[in-house]
Amino acid sequence: MRERPARVYQPRARPFPSCHLGKGVGVNLVEYVFGAARELNRWTEAAILCEDRRLTYAQLLRAVRKFGGALRTLGVARGKRVAVVAADGPEFVASFLGAAAVGAVAVPLSTMLPPDELEYVLNHCGAKAAVVTPEQLDKLRSVRKSLPQLETVLVVGGEPNSDGADEGVLSFDEVVEGAGEAEVEDVSDDATAFILYTSGSTGRPKGAVHIHRNLPYTVETYCKQVLGVRPEDRLFSSSRLFFAYGLGNSLSFPLSTGAASVLCRERPTPPVVAGVFEKHQPTIFFGVPAVFSALIEYASQGSALETRSLKFCVSAGEKLPERIFREWKELTGLDILDGIGSTEMLHMFFSNRRDHVRPGSSGLEVPGYGAKLQDHTGREIEGAGTGSLIVKGLSACAGYWMDAEKTADTMRGEWVRTGDIYRRDREGFYWFEGRGDDLFKVKGLWVSPVEVEEALLSCADVSEAAVVPRADADGLNTVVAFVVLKSKQTDDGEAAEKLKAHASALLPPFKRPAEIRFADALPRTATGKLQRFKLREGLAESA
């Protein structure tokens, strides 16, 4: 996408409620996203910082409108799906917002999907067009014959079709630069804006359907009232734009507040993240526990990690171990605000606060969201207690794409079943106890894998841990722990006994690991969530 001299474009001014976005609000999310640039006159300020590129708000809006114009030229009508399978960069943002601007439906997809899963999702959503990188094009070519509805593929960078072999494969830059600038279109209150596919720990991905009002709601609640993002901020996220978490961190939050989004196309390894910190000096960093753990290890080996520009950090994706919170605080002096959200809810509904952090907890309810804990009969648990979590808020998805059965199972009126087990303390803080389908009984008593994993992670030698049940010869469950050590031990047996002793000092007998297995890595989803079911399957196969 070639840059042109900045010209100022003014989206039509429209009133937008500050928080409670009720039905009947027909504002295209693109109008909302550029609202701060209009109101604060930020058109010549940086909207995106990506490697050596600086894109102003005026340049970004032009790119968004030109991508929308390109879709019109290509015959992509309202409601048609446009897949975006690309690295974080200006092209991703322009594609996502450009599709929404003209009433099409953006479908961000993980660049880590193998060909068969990419084929499944593209067929499932019925994508008519796709934006891909050359690497993704190679993957797409292997399944293209199975995608009859996919008419156009726009390739970011390179010369995609020099030999004329791929029909409908075009250069992103050439098509967008040759297009006219589309107006941002009016939308109905319930118009679909984008579909986010879950990275569920089991089964096929599900497409959470989000309407235009969902994105602004996350900005008006969590972004403004919890994070307090300001126009002078620079937000950097290690989680990619194709995740719900990353979409908020790197697109919704910075652009809707007149701040700058710091994007990085490379995989967020510690050296890459450290380089971004030094070059762009972000003020807020969003990560996941594994990233913070890797950065701590990176710095402990003497590598430079410049964090002076940061005001605070945010973690999500899975529970942040207290040890990582403490070690990061000791290393940088910064708090990590742990929270929890979901693809269905689009972003956070629980979060710690900058002035009220409770390490190990998911924090308090985010303003504008509601939560209930239910017992096994579905009855609400009042006050302190432990139960299945259901949540509500106007960022909740409208349902799952082409899946009425799973929609009915998850969406219960205004409430959304999360599948998580949570404990609420007397002060209203929520503590993650595990997934409902991960809990198991030992000697008739419930065991939360998360609690056992926390005990193991408190050992300085442990980098990662996962706990699952294993049935003995009599069919009775025992606790098995899979552990990734920070450094290789010469004697696995001795290391296992050391860990068992460590856990025994922290856990009652029925929760203590009967067996510890060492691994080089643990199975995770594309978003970094632990896949305990794969460990359970492995144990069953080896039995």
> Per-residue pLDDT tens for 207-243?
999 999 999 999 999 999 999 999 999 999 999 999 9
Q: How does the average pLDDT of the chain come out, rounded?
A: 91
Residue of higher predicted confidence among 18 and 83 = 83
pLDDT at 26 over 70: no
Candidate from 136-150, 211-225, 489-503, 518-532 with smallest mean pLDDT: 518-532
Instruction: Summarize the confidence of residues 415-425 as an average pLDDT.
Output: 95
The one-letter amino acid code at 267 reads R
Strand partners, 434: 421
Instruction: Summarize the confidence of residues 264-271 as an average pLDDT.
Output: 96
Instruction: Summarize the confidence of residues 142-153 as an average pLDDT.
Output: 95
pLDDT at 347 over 60: yes
Task: Report the alpha-carbon distance of residue 513 to residue 113 in Å, rounded.
Answer: 34
Domain ranges within the chain, ordered by starting residue: 29-42+55-211, 214-433, 440-542
**214-433 fold:** Rossmann fold (3.40.50)
pLDDT at 185 over 90: yes
Residue of higher predicted confidence among 22 and 43 = 43
In three-state secondary structure terms, 252 is helix
12 vs 16, 31, 42, CA distance in Å?
A: 12, 7, 16
For the chain, the residue count is: 543
pLDDT value for 5:
40
Same fold, 29-42+55-211 and 440-542: no
Which superfamily does CATH assign the domain made up of 440-542 to? ANL, C-terminal domain (3.30.300.30)
Task: Report the alpha-carbon distance of residue 426 to residue 422 in Å, rounded.
Answer: 13
- Model confidence band, residue 180 (pLDDT cutoffs 50, 70, 90): very high
**29-42+55-211 fold:** Rossmann fold (3.40.50)
Write down the number of H helices and E strands in the chain: 17, 27
Give burial (CB, 10 Å; 0-12/13-18/19+) of 409: exposed
pLDDT at 3 over 90: no
